[in-house]
Amino acid sequence: MTSEKHIEGLEGWFQPWNDHDLTARPLLKVGGTYTIYTGRLTEGEVATLGRLLLELPGARPGSMGFFTDSSGDPCLEASFEPSGITIEGQASPEQWTAWDIAFRTAVEKAKLPRFPA
What does the alpha-carbon distance between residue 39 and residue 80 come to, in Å, rounded to a whole number? 10
pLDDT digits (tens, 9 = 90+) for 35-72: 998 988 999 999 999 999 999 999 998 889 999 988 88
Task: Work out the mean pLDDT of the chain and round it to a whole number.
Answer: 86
Looking at residue 10, its pLDDT comes to 40
- In this structure, which amino acid lies at residue 5? K
Mean pLDDT of 1-17: 55
Q: Are 30 and 90 in contact (CB under 8 A)?
A: yes
Phi (first) and psi of residue 32, to 5 degrees: 175, -175
At 75 the pLDDT is 93
Q: pLDDT at position 3, please?
A: 38
Would you state the pLDDT for residue 73?
86
Is 80 exceeded by the pLDDT of residue 107? Answer: yes
Is the pLDDT confidence value at 8 over 50? no
Provide the pLDDT for residue 116.
Answer: 62
